[in-house]
């Protein structure tokens, strides 16, 4: 019963936000490489634990699939990102490759997730407004 009350409060609070939450999709209908990659990053991020809580991340198949999907979109569009974001795109490729493997040890997944997030933050920074 208490969990239903908490859920109801969260739903009400969410409805009171002044801006709608961002919408992410792996199937962006834009030709902008930045929009495609940033959208895929955001879509994967929806399944990740908050920053700073990577040790508690459950690297279940759905999470690994979203990261693998981001890797694929990054592989297709990352070479067309602004020049200053291309090093970060290469880092996303490297880290997502390790994260996409189900039998990667948890400690290594946590380390890769932190590196992946640093790279995705760089891409977002260099793609802002593009």
The string of pLDDT tens digits covering residues 60-99 is 999 999 999 999 999 999 999 999 999 999 999 999 999 9
| Helix residue spans in 17-101 (DSSP H) | 33-45, 61-77, 86-99
Residue 41 within any structural domain of the chain? yes
Model confidence at 5, pLDDT cuts 50, 70, 90, reads: very low
Model confidence at 55, pLDDT cuts 50, 70, 90, reads: very high
Model confidence at 101, pLDDT cuts 50, 70, 90, reads: confident
pLDDT at 119: 98
Mean pLDDT value of segment 88-111: 94
pLDDT at 66: 95
Residue 20 within any structural domain of the chain? no
Residue 76 within any structural domain of the chain? yes
Residue 21 within any structural domain of the chain? no
| Count of structural domains within the chain | 1
| CA contacts within 13 A on the Cβ side of 4 | 1
* pLDDT of 58 strictly over 70: yes
Residue 12 within any structural domain of the chain? no
Q: Are 37 and 89 in contact (CB under 8 A)?
A: yes
- Range(s) of the domain holding residue 80: 33-127
Residue 28 within any structural domain of the chain? no
Sign of CA dihedral 56, 87, 45, 65: negative
Where does residue 6 rank: exposed (0-12), middle (13-18), buried (19+ CB within 10 A)? exposed
Mean pLDDT value of segment 115-119: 98
């Amino acid at each position: 019963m208490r969990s239903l009350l908490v859920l109801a409060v969260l739903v009400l609070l969410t409805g009171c936000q002044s801006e709608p939450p961002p919408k992410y999709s792996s199937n962006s209908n834009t030709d902008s490489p930045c929009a495609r990659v940033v959208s895929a990053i955001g879509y994967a991020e929806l399944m990740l634990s908050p920053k700073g809580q990577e040790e508690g991340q459950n690297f279940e198949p759905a999470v690994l699939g979203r990261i693998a999907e981001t890797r694929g979109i990054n592989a297709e569009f990352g070479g067309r990102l602004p020049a200053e974001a291309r090093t970060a795109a290469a880092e996303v490729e490297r880290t997502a490759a390790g994260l996409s493997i189900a039998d990667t040890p948890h400690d290594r997944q946590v380390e890769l997730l932190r590196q992946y997030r640093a790279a995705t933050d760089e891409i977002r920074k260099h793609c802002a407004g593009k």
